[in-house]
Each structure stands twice: as C-alpha cells, then as structure tokens.
Structure 1
Amino acid sequence: MKTRVCRLYGQHDIRIETDDIQPPGPGEVLLRMSAGGICGSDLHYYQDGGFGPIRVREPIILGHEVSGTVAALGDGVRGLKEGMKVAFNPSRPCGHCRYCAEGRPRHCTEMRFSGSAMRMPHEQGGFREFMVVQATQCIPLSDRTSLAHAACAEPLSVALHACGQAGDIRGAQVLVTGAGPIGALCVAAARAAGAAHIVATDIQDATLEVARRMGADTTLNVGRDAEALHPWREDKGRFDVAFECSAVSSALQDAMMAVRPGGTIVQVGVTGNLSIPLNILVGKEIALRGSHRFDREFEQAAAMIDSGQIDVGPIITGRYPLEDALSAFEAASDRTRSVKVQLAFE
C-alpha cells in the first residue's frame, strides 16, 4: 500500500513524497488521515530547521495535531471499528519511568511524541494520507464531529492543562496575553471553566477577533496602544489569573503589573531566556507556574469538541490540500491573517 507524505528535509525544504505502508500489527490501527494543524513547532522546523538545541538531523514527517478515520484494525484491538472517526493523541510515554509512575507522564524521560526531532531517529508525524498507530492513541468520536475540529484536540488539551495549573477560576478576572492558537483556546478553556471576565491582548486585530469569537469579553491591541492594559493595573492589579501565551518579555511584565497580589500567572508560551521583574514577583507574592503539554486533558479535549461544549471552529483560518503544503506553511507563518492553518489529506 502507498501513502503520500509531507516530509521536511531541512530549512524551507518540504517535499511531498510517496512511501510504502504496512498493515497494522497487534494492538495497532491503520488511520486514513483527514486533517492536520500546523503547530508553532512545525513552523520552527520549517523556518529555522529546529528550535533551541532541537535540530532536524534527518528527513522528518511533521505534524502532531491530526485526526482521521479507522481504515483497518490489527489483532486484539477493542473499542474501535473500521470507519470510526478518531482524534489522535501524539504522546507515547513509556509507562514505567519515575514520572510515569508518579502519574505525570507528560514528563516521561522516554517520551515519544509524533513529529518531533528531539530523538534520533526522529519520531515521524501525521502529515500523511495513511498512518499506522497504537490503538491506545485513538480517541473515538461521534459521526457528527468534524475531523477538522477533531484535529484541534491536541492544542485544546494544552489549553485545558494550563487552566488546570491555575486552579479553580470560577468567577475569576482572567488575562490572556497572546491570541494565537493556544491563546485563543485558553480563552475558550477559561470561559468553559467559569471565568467571569476575560481580557485578551495581542498585536494583531485578526487574532484578537478570533479570541473574541472564542469567548473573550475584551480584546486589546497592545501593538497599537502600549498602555491599553494600564487601567487593569489599578489597586496593584485587577486580574486574578493570567495566561501568558506569547513568550514575549513585555507581555510577561504586563501580566505581572496587571495581576493582583497573590494572583497566578501561568506561563504557556515557550522561548529562551526572558528578563523577569523579580521585585514585582516578590512584592506582590505572585505565583508563577509553567505549563507543559497535557496528560488526561487530551481525552477531555476530544470529548468537549465532540459534544460541542467548545467550538474550535473560529481558530481554523485556512485549509490546504496536501499538495499545497508549502502554501499552507507560508500562510501559517503570517499572523496578520492566520491563527490555525490545517492540511487536508482527503
């Protein structure tokens, strides 16, 4: 059997190629892939050949935000059937290291994550027409659910985990800095968790409009008005919780100024070193917490999309066929017009 794949060879070097694919083995399923979202890490691989110390050292099929339909079952698979729609969990923790044993598999020391160049050989991803995966990575969906929406289960699970890091936010005043895909989904997750008022900031009107559609009560373009958040600094800060999704030093400092004493900032965006005003962190006794990927939140995200509790549709701003992958990556790189760009494999 043959399958077309989207393979990256290096910086700005994407090729659509054809591979052979084997039938699923015991405990495996063959998926007919439907949709695949281009993530920030995919863009780093495409634009820069990697990020930080993680570099593309061999050809890699990108993609970890994917969904599909079960095409064939291997021996011993239960709970799935041919033709069933599924969301695909790209995480494969080992199950036996210290962190897996502690119930924190997102920190697994032997984690296998689809479309990642962290290990050699690289973990091949889901930007392809067919893919053999572990049955345990497939979350069944109802027939009514859009597979384009289902491919957003992975980034939504990141946002749900970030909300969990903030604790109970019912009735809270919430700030989200950075209205890209994760920021917009943090807005939706905070709204679903019962936040009273949500303010989203960004430097692009297009992304802020998506954040509004995802549930933000107030949107502020801090690129056009650097002082837009100043009213929220009154009385030492008015926000109970901030989700910092931009990984920009000025955004983190804005969040620290606008969060009340004893408030919480969840750092979701990732970059290298940032300067932090420790006097504000200490003086206001702010809890600064990191948020890394997800665990059980993936099943929760898939269920929320499947039930319609969270509509992820507004973040999908473009869909391109596999043969137009280069155009898709260029569109995804343009934040003036794109939030989440997907490849369509069918």
Structure 2
Amino acid sequence: MSSPNLAVVAHAKDDLRLDELPEPTAGPDQAVIEVAYGGVCGSDLHYWLHGAAGESILRAPLVLGHEVVGRVVTAAADGSGPAAGTPVAVHPATPVDDGSAPFPADRPNLSPAGTYLGSAARVPHTDGAFARRVALPTRMLRALPEGLPLRTAALAEPAAVAWHGVGRAGDVRGARVLVIGAGPIGALAVAVLRHHGAAEIIASDLHELPLETARTLGATATIDARNADAIANVHADVVIESSGTVPGLASAIRGAGRGGRVVMLGLQRTGEIPVLMSLAITRELTLTGSFRFNDEIDEVIAALADGSLRIDPVVTHEYPVAEALEAFRVARDASVSSKVLLRFDEEA
C-alpha cells in the first residue's frame, strides 16, 4: 500500500500543516510524479510567516512548493512527456497571454497572467508540489540525464533563477562582481558567476555561514554586510543584489563602479522604497530587474550533469516530510541554514 499522500499546506499566517491529500487525478496531458525532494524557498516561508508573499495574499489553503524533483510513476495518457520511471525536474511556470498587458514574446516569465506552482497570486490559488504524489502537465517536466542525482537536481529551479539573473548582467567573463546577500539564491549566483568566468567574485552577508558557503562555491573574497566602507571600495563592474532588502539595494549601488550594472535579483517589498538614485545617476549605473527565469533551467541541468556547475554545498539541511514544520523553522534562520530540503520519497 502506498504511503499517505502527505502535503505541506499553508492555511493562514502562522498556520502551516501537514495534510493528507487524495491521490492525484491526472488529465490527458499530465503525468503523476512521485516527488523525491523539495527545496524550501523564501516565498514558502513568507506564506507561513506572513500569510502573503509580496502582493500574493493567502485567501485559501495553499499547497506550497515549486522547487521539486522526482520520478514519473504514471505517464501522460496522451503520450506526451517522459515515460514512467523517468527522473524529472519541474519548471513551475505557466505563461498565459490573456491580453491584459503586452510582454515580449521571448520573455514569457513576464507574462502578467502567468501562474507559478505554490502561488497565491491568483484566485483560485495555484497549488504547489510539496506532496508525495502530484499530477503535473508534461510541459513542466524536464527529464534528467543519467547519473545526475535527484538531490543535486533539486536545486535546478533556484539555480535557474540565479542563472537568469546573472544573464541579465550580460557577459561577465573577466568581470569584478559583487554579490549582495549570500543566502541560497546569492550563493547560487556565486556558483553561476564562477561557471560563467567572472574574474573576481566578492560576496557580502550579515552571517558567517552564508559567507563560508560563498567561499566554498568560488567567491574570491567576502565582506561583512555591516562594513559599508569595504563595500563602497569594491567598485564592481557588476553587482547582483540578491538580499531583497532596502539596505542591500543601497549597498549594491554603493558597491558598483562607475558605469556599472546592478541586477536587482532579490524581490523588494511591495510599495515605495528609498533608493540612492542620485548616486546611480551620477555614476551612470544601469539598474536591471530580474524575475524568475525562462528556459535557463535546461542550461542548468546540462551544467549540473557535466559537472561544470557545482552547487551541492548550498544544501545545509535535509528533513523527511513528516518533519516539515521543523524544516521550515530551520530554513527561516539564515545564520544556521542555507537551502533546506524536504525529502518526500522515503527511499530517496
């Protein structure tokens, strides 16, 4: 008999539960996936701690999770997608063009009506995949190369976010790059920058654990985020702001060299925020947004498979799904954890 289909569900602010779901029912173009691992993301934490992630407000219970890998247990009835037994990573986005606002055809991540697994942006909410078994459209599935461990591939989605953000900076070969915030996404940005040939990678954070992770992944130097003078003296060609905080954005602008580019990878709080705009103007900085990713997940998977992208040190903790509440408590503390994985498959 199959184990209960446990799922991690946010019911409201401070109300995170392990619920037992019915077995998934797949549509013709959907496969049933047995989830092996899921990574706890900042948005998952926000739904638990605040009942919202930015402007996406919980109005009903939401199955969390969009960083997932697993195996196909039942292939799609229409013959699309991978066969049963195939290990897969998941691309959680569904671009939708409903005519509400134009967006570039080659940048579907900017689709205003698009949905994302584990998101309360729309009503009804789009349930995520933090469950032992889920039915997903085959277009979301990426077959994993032979020999790529599922535990490593569990980072493919957040690594694709970092890959997209670094891509927004342009060619970074030989560049001096400053990464503000060395949490999971910042650490993955360090790994991607190293892969892409950056000459110097300086990482900044408030805590020693993320700084040590950044050094392990290829940072050539690290700075305590409270050392404003040291950050201002970096004069970086490119800055990746991955903290998503107002002080982090200020540090990014201060740390950028004249004519440099600041990629705003960390999502700032909703509403107006103070920005050092006069400094950005007089230094002729380019401020560039970065939001999710498109097909970069395919490049990430290929780089993981050939060993050119090393990201395993980002994972600091792993918990069985039955201990999900403890996993979330650990994940919220950036001084003791980086990426926290949930293990759904008891045999993973």
Please state how far the C-alpha of 1:23 moved relative to its aligned partner. 4.2
- SS of the residue 1:254 aligns to: helix
Note if 1:221 corresponds to 2:224.
yes
Please state how far the C-alpha of 1:80 moved relative to its aligned partner. 1.2
Note if 1:333 corresponds to 2:332.
yes
8 Å Cα contact 2:81/2:139 also seen in 1 = no
Please state how far the C-alpha of 1:231 moved relative to its aligned partner. 3.4
Q: Deviation per CA, 1:178-233: give whole Å up to 9, x if none.
A: 0011101111111111111000000100011111111111011123x44332432x
8 Å Cα contact 1:29/1:133 also seen in 2 = yes
Aligned residue in 2 for 1:235: none
What is the count of residue pairs matched by the alignment? 340
- Identify which range, 253-262 or 309-318, moves more after superposition: 253-262
Query: Which of 125, 128, 150 is the matching residue for 1:147?
Result: 150
Normalising to structure 1: TM-score of the pair? 0.93
Distance 2:211 2:24 in 1: 44
Distance 1:92 1:137 in 2: 8
Q: Deviation per CA, 1:131-180: give whole Å up to 9, x if none.
A: 00011111011232221221211111111111111111111000000001
Distance 1:264 1:181 in 2: 22
Please state how far the C-alpha of 1:55 moved relative to its aligned partner. 1.3
Aligned residue in 2 for 1:322: 321
Distance 1:199 1:72 in 2: 46
Segments of 5+ residues of structure 1 without an aligned counterpart are: 233-237
8 Å Cα contact 1:24/1:73 also seen in 2 = no
Once superposed, which parts of structure 1, at least 4 consecutive aligned residues long, lie more than 6 Å away?
none
Please state how far the C-alpha of 1:331 moved relative to its aligned partner. 0.2
Note if 1:304 corresponds to 2:306.
no
Segments of 5+ residues of structure 2 without an aligned counterpart are: none
- How high is the sequence identity, in percent, across the aligned residues? 35
Alignment root-mean-square deviation, CA: 1.7
- SS of the residue 1:20 aligns to: coil
8 Å Cα contact 1:171/1:195 also seen in 2 = yes
Aligned residue in 1 for 2:294: 295
| Structure 1 residues 177 and 13: alpha-carbon distance in aligned structure 2, compared to 1, 3 A threshold | same
Amino acid of the structure 2 residue aligned with 1:144: G
Aligned residue in 1 for 2:44: 42
Please state how far the C-alpha of 1:248 moved relative to its aligned partner. 2.5
| Structure 1 residues 159 and 99: alpha-carbon distance in aligned structure 2, compared to 1, 3 A threshold | farther
Q: Deviation per CA, 1:80-133: give whole Å up to 9, x if none.
A: 121111111100112675656622211113212100011111100011000000
Distance 1:211 1:105 in 2: 31
Distance 2:198 2:206 in 1: 23
Aligned residue in 2 for 1:11: 13
8 Å Cα contact 2:228/2:251 also seen in 1 = no
Please state how far the C-alpha of 1:79 moved relative to its aligned partner. 5.0
Distance 2:151 2:68 in 1: 8
- SS of the residue 1:163 aligns to: helix
8 Å Cα contact 1:321/1:345 also seen in 2 = yes
Query: Which of 252, 255, 268 is the matching residue for 1:271?
Result: 268
Distance 1:88 1:95 in 2: 21
Distance 1:108 1:124 in 2: 19
Note if 1:88 corresponds to 2:90.
yes
Query: Which of 171, 176, 180 is the matching residue for 1:173?
Result: 176
Normalising to structure 2: TM-score of the pair? 0.93
